[in-house]
Structure 1
Amino acid sequence: MITQELLNKYFKGECTAAEEALVARWLQQADLPELRKHMEAGWEQEGGLPAGEALKQQLAADLRRQLYPPQQKRPVYKIWLRLAIPAAAALLALLWYWTGSLPRPQENSLSAMRPTWDTVVNTTTGKRHFTLPDSTRVWLSPASRLIHSIAAEKRLVQLIGQAFFEVAPDAARPFSVLTGNVETQVLGTAFNIEAYQGERSIRVSLVSGKVALFRKNAPPGAAPLSHLEKGQAATCSSTGLLVSKDTLRLTAPADWTSQATVFDNVPVQDALERIAAQYGITIQYHKGVNFGSKRFSTVFDRETPEQMVRNILFIADCRYKLEAGKLVVLP
């Protein structure tokens, strides 16, 4: 039940978390007459309701103050509205109801608001395909997580795991992918990034376009770790250092966007661990196992998890056995 006393507590910041959530939901759903009644009651408690055009002007001023923070200090209005985002949406609707038009900001825009972050997690055994708000297409690999914020000035995502991106061109808004201590910046291109938690390296494979690799939080004007062009790949350490740059073996977008499991120059143990995470397999390594610097490249399309493991271990010249629900790798 929404009461005037509860609304007063909300706008003074005195609500509990449960009360704050209740009021926020009501502000998003309340019809205009009911919302106006509560607003008028609030003004009466503060010393009288402004009338006519003065009310419209005060509402508009307060809305601008909440949505478009001023660049310099201005007088603080005594109106009790301290709107959170849901309340701002309700106030916008109320202004439209009274004036038939919305106040237009002169300098700032909604982009001045704090960006929001959304998270996509893939817990399936296949790639998850989705489109970001800027029309960038993403194929998120199993056991991977993507956190994204697409704002008016910049497009930014954070990746743990692996994903293939087809970035929508937008010269005014660079697209950046954060992976550990490496930031990949693009304008419009198609590329794959591998940045699994626990692995010692981050790999960027460019199918089309151009990208630049920077250390995380590099100052403006800093030299990139590397530039990549179509058909090139780069491997960086988890600490943000360029390790190597080579020619991409898998250059067809379909190799990366299909439901196939793709490995391109991946260390053998990393390949095994990715399969284990994808299918929920526990792997145990015998103390005599040493993969050295061996790497693995292939595309598994219809193979079972055991067949994939068998092929990888054949290249590594190792054996395996199934024991008590575990896959034990032997020298």
Structure 2
Amino acid sequence: MDEHAIKILFSKVLQQTASEEEKRKLALYLRDHDIANTAEELLPFEEWEAAMGGPLPKALRTGIPARILPVRKFYRKSLWYAAAVAVLLVTGLLMLRVYRLDKAGRMLYTTSRTTGKQIRLPDGSTVYLNADSRVQFSEDAHERSVVLHGEAFFDIVQQASKPFVVKSGNVQTTVLGTSFNIKAYPDENSISVAVKTGKVSVSARYPVLKKDSTIFLEAGQQAVYGNRDHLFALSPVDTAAICGWQENRFVFEDACLGDICKTLGRQYGVQFQLKDPALSRCIYSTTFNQLTLAEALEKLTLLGDLQFELQGKTVIVKGEPCHPL
């Protein structure tokens, strides 16, 4: 891009009139010139986000322009260019960096360990990304594709000629237009797909037979894929509870304590430490409705012989191991 084209993109981003494709072009340009990456090394992206809606920290207002501008001699050639880069970094990068670009040029959206976010994809689809999650989005003439690590609720815009495919671990979910939730954290033993509206097909590789297994889910249905046995388990699901995590509501049905602790740990930004690993296999059914951490721990103590002790950001779990069926 020549200098005039970059000026126009800078202006549109700062005035919040840039399209997704224009923001993507500028993000790609900044990445290729090390500007965006250098900014993130100086302050993590979470600190840029935290500055939204309030006064910018002094390091953002003064330190970053002084340290960024000398990165490339190219920027010294034009006083306007230097000023534009400084202004973009201080006021525009917050908006621009809603997503990043990976090495393949795919859009990469991420969340922090404790905070989720709502994002809008270039095709108009909406994704509600849970904490400690990320999605990579790409699109070509035949398909819209997302790679998910973590948990997300998708509200997909229908395009009959271009299906929307979500790849999460060994599971692939294909839709045309619907809303559904996928939970696929790498440290958990299963991947779940729950449909709120519409219909999806869910496929996974069955290594024993060396072929794919495909099932179809409609609204109010859920499939849980075991990463160990490579089998699907189907069950009905309350559509109101599918995306309850967006409002700090969680429904656990026959869930092991280990998975409950992982979910609550992400929600409240704490680490659960089970004194006896056998406790993780205990099975419980419970609901948390907009509870504080202290209230959630108190409710857990009512489920069985469990004690919880909060030490800083760590929750120590004690109790007698149970013997789930």
TM range (shorter): 0.5 to 0.7
For residues 244-277 of structure 1, give each alpha carbon's deviation from its aligned partner in whole angstroms, at most 9, with x where no partner exists: 11010x3127854743243443432112112223
Asked if structure 2 preserves the Cα contact closer than 8 Å seen for 1:263 and 1:297, the reply is yes
Separation of aligned partners in 2, 1:254 and 1:140: 13
Q: Mapping of 1:216-255 within 5 angstroms? A: 224-238=213-227, 241-248=230-237, 250-252=238-240, 255=243
Structure 2 residues not aligned, in runs of 5+: 6-27, 30-102, 320-325
Percent identity of paired positions between Structure 1 and Structure 2? 27
**Residue 162 of structure 1 corresponds to which residue in structure 2?**
151
**Residue 300 of structure 2 corresponds to which residue in structure 1?**
312
Separation of aligned partners in 1, 2:234 and 2:206: 22
**Residue 270 of structure 1 corresponds to which residue in structure 2?**
259
With the length of structure 2 as denominator, give the TM-score of the two structures: 0.60
**Residue 208 of structure 1 corresponds to which residue in structure 2?**
197
Matched, 1:282 2:282: no
What amino acid is aligned across from residue 134 of structure 2 in structure 1? R
The one of 174, 178, 184 aligned to 1:195? 184
With the length of structure 1 as denominator, give the TM-score of the two structures: 0.59
* Displacement after TM superposition at 1:162 (Å): 0.8
What amino acid is aligned across from residue 318 of structure 2 in structure 1? L
Asked if structure 2 preserves the Cα contact closer than 8 Å seen for 1:285 and 1:328, the reply is yes
Separation of aligned partners in 2, 1:254 and 1:274: 14
Asked if structure 1 preserves the Cα contact closer than 8 Å seen for 2:241 and 2:250, the reply is no
**Residue 2 of structure 2 corresponds to which residue in structure 1?**
29
Separation of aligned partners in 2, 1:297 and 1:225: 31
**Pair 255,203 (structure 1): closer, same or farther in 2 beyond 3 Å:** closer
Aligned length: 220
After TM superposition, the runs of 4+ consecutive aligned structure 1 residues lying more than 6 A away are none
Matched, 1:134 2:123: yes
**Residue 111 of structure 2 corresponds to which residue in structure 1?**
122
Separation of aligned partners in 1, 2:297 and 2:135: 27
Asked if structure 1 preserves the Cα contact closer than 8 Å seen for 2:196 and 2:242, the reply is no
**Pair 141,118 (structure 1): closer, same or farther in 2 beyond 3 Å:** same
Separation of aligned partners in 2, 1:150 and 1:192: 21
**Pair 239,152 (structure 1): closer, same or farther in 2 beyond 3 Å:** farther
SS in 2 for 1:252: helix
* Displacement after TM superposition at 1:231 (Å): 0.5
Separation of aligned partners in 1, 2:206 and 2:212: 12
**Greater helix percent: which structure?**
2
**Pair 296,282 (structure 1): closer, same or farther in 2 beyond 3 Å:** same
SS in 2 for 1:298: strand
Separation of aligned partners in 1, 2:176 and 2:272: 40
Asked if structure 2 preserves the Cα contact closer than 8 Å seen for 1:231 and 1:251, the reply is yes
SS in 1 for 2:279: coil
